[in-house]
Structures are given as structure tokens and as C-alpha cells.
Amino acid sequence: MKKSRLRKAAVLILLFACFLGAFSAIGLWENHQREQAVASQAQIDDAARRRREGWIEVDGQWYAPRTDLETLLVIGVDKMEPLVSSGSYNNDGQADFLLLTIFDKTAKTTTILHINRDTMTDIPILGVTGEPAGTIFAQLALAHTYGDGLEDSCENTADAVSMLLGGVKIDHYVGMTMGAVPLLNDMVGGVTVTVLDDFSGIDDSLVEGETVTLQGEQALHYVRIRRGLEDSTNLNRMERQQQYLNALTGQIESLGDGFSPSFSELDQLSQYIVSDCSVQQLNDLTRRYAGYEMAEEMLDIKGEARQGTEFVEYYPDEEALQEQVLSLFYVPKEA
């Protein structure tokens, strides 16, 4: 009888121990699950924070946007007359020339990214009230046709360029019609280039292979014309534009303090230009970055030109573009 009670007690103790072990195991499992949940939530919160700060993740690597850059988008509008408002939510001036200037405050360098106007990408569109109305897949140049042809159109173009580059911030813009080219060219005393194309029948003063100092309308023809040339692609014209800009920059540098346009010249030029910056702000930008070292070559976006239904369309190499954006605008970070 005594042994029987002992056995029962032992069984009860074992059962209690089993239940205690089970409950302990369950408790440990629940604690582990809670810890995992907390860790997972922390990871989610940290990822959300990084994204709020503009970080992006590519192939498991996080990248943070550089904070030591300032950007200026130069927009050449395919019109000759001074800039005026269209008085509407759209206009007929396309962005014929797109140049993103990147000032690196750490390296004290200036890098220029020349963007093909024929680039096929999503561009924002504006409705009849001037409010955003979605996006369309079209040539980048058409972004400027939305808006009144002044600030609205330039801002829409800057937004389109930002979207193309994955959301990179565009700090400032300067838009000008092509009618400003002869004025600017002559303000520096002309720009010397070796002619890259045969302009016979279009401008016979531009002979392929000859070195000339472009004056007035010559400069406009050289950087604007493409139809009627043997190679009428925008890619070919971009080569001439880059050549001209390098020569123009060199001419301004060679003038030094001798480059001092008159008030009347600046007043005339201002009629062809619109910017989000005041004259003083542009002057401050110029002074701030005047001593920066210019990159030897302009950059462009790699891709492929294809004949579309009506016009040539340029399709960026998405992988190369992503690498270029990361290289120019981001720094790798530990997760």
C-alpha cells in the first residue's frame, strides 16, 4: 500500500515535471518568437528609415544619396524668339538640348552629363489646370511642352530628368531658347572649332575639316542643325554640341577678367533665359564653383537609337544607367 502511494506520487511528480517542461518550452518558444518579431520589425523600421532618407537597395547593397553635390540642369529650347508665356497649360517648345551639371563640393570638380533629347522614358504630364495628370512614355524632349513654356515647363523637364535618373534631386535649372546661342557666342568673341560635318548647301562657310572661329548664326547652325546632313541623328549633333561647349568654356577661361559683358548685352541675353535662380543666385553659383576642376570629357547615357514610327527613339541601357547613377550620385553604405 505504501509502495503504491509512492508510485502514484512519483507519477504525479513526473507528470508535473513534464507539464512544467512543456510550459517552459512553450514559454521559451513564445519568447523566441517575440524576439524574432521584434528583430524583424526593427529591420523593417530600419529599412523604412533608410528609404525615407533616400537610400536605395541594389543587389543586396544599400546606397545613400550624396549630400555634397549641387546640380544645375541646362535646357536648350528649340525656339528662336525670346521666351514668353504661352498662356496655356502647354506649348510647342521642346527641350532640344539637356545638360546636367554636377558640382562635387568634396572633390572640387564639375562633371557634365549630356542627355539625349530622344531618350524614351516616363515623363510627367500636366492637365488643363496645370496640375499633374500622370505620366506618358515618350521622348524626353516633350516634357518641356507641358506648361506655359516658362518656369512650369522647365520644372516639368527637371522632374522628367529626375525620374530618368531614379529620383536624383535637381537643385536648379536654366532654360534658354536657341536664339541665345549667337548672342552668347559673340559675347566671348567667337568660338573656334574644327568642323566635324559637311554643311554644304546648308551653311557653305562650314567646311568639314577646316578650323573656323564661329560667329553669330554660324554658331547656331553648328550646334542646332541636323536635318540635311549625312548623319542626321541627334547622337551626331551631340558630338558637335559637346565640342562647341568645350571650346566655349576654354574661350571664357582664356578671357579671364577680360570677359565682362555690357549691361545691354546681358539685358538682351536675359530675354531668352528663364531660371529658378535670380541673377544674384546665378552669379553666386558661378563664383562658388569657378575654381572647380572640369572633368576632361562630358558623360552621356549609353543606349541604342532606333527608328520609331515617326522619329528616332533612344533607349537607355538600363543596367549601365543604374551603374552610372550610383557612381555619380550615391555612396555605398552598410545595412
Which residues have a Cβ under 8 Å from the Cβ of 291 and sit 6 or more positions away? 108
Same domain, 152 and 35: no
Residue 23's pLDDT band (cuts 50, 70, 90): very low
Structure confidence by residue, pLDDT tens digits, 288-319: 888 899 888 899 999 999 999 988 999 999 99
**Whether 152 contacts 129, CB under 8 Å:** no
Same domain, 248 and 206: yes
Please give the angle made by the CA atoms of 268, 272 and 273, to the nearest 5 degrees. Answer: 110
Same domain, 17 and 127: no
Of the listed ranges 30-34, 276-280, 290-294, the one predicted with least confidence = 30-34
Q: How many distinct structural domains can be found in the chain?
A: 2
- Give the chain's mean pLDDT: 86
What CA–CA distance (Å, rounded) separates 221 from 256?
Answer: 27
Same domain, 168 and 23: no
Its domain, for residue 6, covers 2-52
Query: What is this structure's pTM?
Result: 0.81
Residue 20's pLDDT band (cuts 50, 70, 90): very low
Q: Which residue has the higher pLDDT, 309 or 258?
A: 309
Residue 201, in any domain of the structure: yes
**Whether 271 contacts 80, CB under 8 Å:** no
What CA–CA distance (Å, rounded) separates 223 from 76?
Answer: 11
Closest CA to 101 of 298, 309, 274, 313: 298
**Whether 160 contacts 119, CB under 8 Å:** no
Structure confidence by residue, pLDDT tens digits, 121-164: 999 998 888 888 999 999 999 999 999 999 999 999 999 999 99
Task: Enter the C-alpha cell of residue 312.
Answer: 528616332
Q: Is the pLDDT of residue 195 over 90?
A: yes
Residue 188, in any domain of the structure: yes
Q: Is the pLDDT of residue 243 over 50?
A: yes
Of the listed ranges 8-12, 105-109, 112-116, 173-177, the one predicted with least confidence = 8-12
Amino acid at 244: Y
